[in-house]
Amino acid sequence: MATDRMEQIVALCKRRGFVFQSSEIYGGLKSCWDYGPLGVELKRNVKDAWWRYMVRGRPDVVGIDCSILMHPKVWETSGHIAGFNDPMVDCKKCKARFRADTLDAQRCPEKPSKKPGECEGELTAPRQFNLMFKTFMGPVEDASAIVYLRPETAQGIFVNFKNVCDTSRMRPPFGIAQQGKSFRNEIVTENFIFRSREFEQMELEFFCPPAEAMPWYEYWRKARLDWFLGLGVRAENLRLRDHAQDELAHYSAACADVEYQFPFGWKELEGIANRTDFDLKRHSEATGKDLAWFDDITRERWIPYVIEPALGVDRAFLAFLCDAWAEDEIDGEARSVLRFHPALAPIKAGIFPLVKKEGLPEIGHAIEKELSREFSVFYDEKGAIGRRYRRQDECGTPWCITVDFQTKDDQTVTVRHRDDCRQERLSIAALAGFIRERCLG
C-alpha cells in the first residue's frame, strides 16, 4: 500500500508538472531532479514561508547568501575532508554499491526480495567514502586547484560571523539564516527527492551565550514543529526524535530530528542541534581571527554556542506533498486532490468564465490581470466546468473563481472551495483581500 501511495505521488508529480527526472530525454540522470512549472512555485512558496517565519518575522535573525565554492581550508577546519564519510561495500557479483551502515534497509538490485549479501553475491569489506564533490578552480587541474561543492550551507554562515557582527547591530542571542544548494555524493540515493546528490537546504545558525544554549535548543525544537503544524501538516505525521548519546556528533551537546511519516516510513525531515562553540572555535584557531564575542555590559568575552535547525527544501517539499495528497469522492466520482495550505499552493486561484462568449472571457481576463499582480493564478475557458475544477483540485489550487451571467449584473463571482467543494458568492472587488488573508499562514 505504502509503495503504491508513493508510486501514485511520483506519477502525479510527473503528470501535473511538479517534478521531472533530470535530463529525461537522455535517459535521465539518477538522483537528480528538475522542478516543473507547479513544482517551482511550490518550492518557492516553501522557501518563502520559511524565510518569513525564520528571518523577516523576527528582529533577532538576519539572512545571508554565500557562494557554493569556498576556500578548501574551510572544509579541513570543519572536519568534512577528514570525516564526512559513509562506509561503503560492493557486491562482488552484481557490482552494486551499498551503504554498509544501512544494509537492512537496502535491497539487492537483482533479487529485490533479498538484502545485499543475502543473495549469492559476496560483499567486500567496508571502506570509507568521502561524500564531498570535488572540482577544480581555474584552468589547471592539479591538487592545488581542488575546490569542493559545499555539502552544507552552515559553514558559509560561520565564516561570516564576524562580518555580520561588524556590519549589523546584531548581538547574541541572534541568528544568521541561509537558503541554498548543497551537494553530497551519496552512496545510495533513495525515495524520489528524499535523498539526492544535489539538494537545497535552509539553515539557521543561532548564536547565543553558552549558558543560554539549552533553553534556546528547547525553544527551536518547539518553533520548528510549530512551523510545520502552522502550514497544515497533520500532527500525527510529525514527531521529534532525540538522538541517543552514541548518535551525537562529538561536538554536539544535544540533537533531535523532526521526523515525518512518509509513505516509506518515519524519516528525518530536519535536524536541530546544539553545536556548542565547536565551529567558531575551530575557525578561529585555523585563521587566527578572534571570533569571540565581547559583552560590553558584563565585560565578559566568550565564544557563542550555536543552535542549528537545518532543513532540506526538497524533503520539506515531499512532506508537504505527501501530507496534502488524498483521494476522495465528489458526487460519486473519484477525485485526486492536493490539500495544500493556501500559503504553499502553487496556484492560488483558477479563473473560469462559464462560457466562452457574451463578454464572460473579458471579465475573466480582467480578474486574472488584477489578481496576477499579487498571486499566481490560472485562467481557463475550455471544457466542462466540472473538469476544470477537478484539474485544479489535483494541482492543489484552493479556490476556483467562476464568472457567470450574474457577474455582468452585479459584479459578483462564485468562489468554489477545493476541500469541501462549497461555493459562495463574492464581489470581484473582495477577491484579492479574500485570498491574501487566507495565504498568511
| Chain residues in the site for ligand GAP (CB under 6 A) | 152, 154, 184, 186, 195-196, 199, 201, 203, 268-271, 308, 310-312, 314-315
Q: Chain centroid to CA 390: how far?
A: 27
- Residue 258 or residue 413: which is nearer to ligand GAP going by CB? 258
Q: Work out how close the CB of 194 gets to ligand GAP at its nearest, in angstroms, rounded to a whole number.
A: 6
Beta carbons within 8 Å of 263's beta carbon, 6+ residues apart = 2, 3, 5, 6, 9, 322
- At 28, is the secondary structure helix, strand, or coil? coil
- Residue 85 or residue 372: which is nearer to ligand GAP going by CB? 85
Q: Work out how close the CB of 315 gets to ligand GAP at its nearest, in angstroms, rounded to a whole number.
A: 4
CA-to-CA distance for 354 and 351, rounded, in angstroms? Answer: 10
- Residue 152 or residue 393: which is nearer to ligand GAP going by CB? 152
Q: Is 300 left (phi over 0), alpha (psi -120 to 50) or beta?
A: beta
- Maximum Cα–Cα distance across the chain: 79
Q: Work out how close the CB of 201 gets to ligand GAP at its nearest, in angstroms, rounded to a whole number.
A: 5
Retrieve residue 415's grid coordinates.
Answer: 468562489
β-strand pairing of 305-312 with 265-274: antiparallel
- Residue 108 or residue 187: which is nearer to ligand GAP going by CB? 187
**Sheet harboring 399-403: ordered strands across?**
377-379, 349-353, 399-403, 412-417, 423-427
Q: Work out how close the CB of 152 gets to ligand GAP at its nearest, in angstroms, rounded to a whole number.
A: 4
β-strand pairing of 349-353 with 399-403: parallel
Retrieve residue 181's grid coordinates.
Answer: 544548494
Residue number, nearest CB to ligand GAP: 312
Q: Work out how close the CB of 365 gets to ligand GAP at its nearest, in angstroms, rounded to a whole number.
A: 41
Q: Work out how close the CB of 140 gets to ligand GAP at its nearest, in angstroms, rounded to a whole number.
A: 31
Q: Work out how close the CB of 31 gets to ligand GAP at its nearest, in angstroms, rounded to a whole number.
A: 8
- Residue 184 or residue 418: which is nearer to ligand GAP going by CB? 184
> Does residue 351 contact residue 379 with C-beta atoms inside 8 Å?
yes
Q: Work out how close the CB of 205 gets to ligand GAP at its nearest, in angstroms, rounded to a whole number.
A: 8
**42: enclosing H helix or E strand:** helix 37-51
Closest residue by Cα to residue 110 from 100, 101, 99, 120: 120
Q: Work out how close the CB of 270 gets to ligand GAP at its nearest, in angstroms, rounded to a whole number.
A: 5
- Residue 275 or residue 390: which is nearer to ligand GAP going by CB? 275
Q: Work out how close the CB of 104 gets to ligand GAP at its nearest, in angstroms, rounded to a whole number.
A: 19
- Residue 317 or residue 389: which is nearer to ligand GAP going by CB? 317
- Residue 203 or residue 393: which is nearer to ligand GAP going by CB? 203
What number of residues does the chain have?
441
Burial class (CB in 10 A: 0-12, 13-18, 19+), 306: buried
- Residue 165 or residue 258: which is nearer to ligand GAP going by CB? 258
Burial 153-167 (b: 16+ CB within 10 A, else e): bbbbbbbbbbebbee
The residues facing 334 across adjacent strands are: 329
- Residue 19 or residue 310: which is nearer to ligand GAP going by CB? 310
Q: Alpha helix (H) ranges present in 84-169?
A: 154-159, 161-167
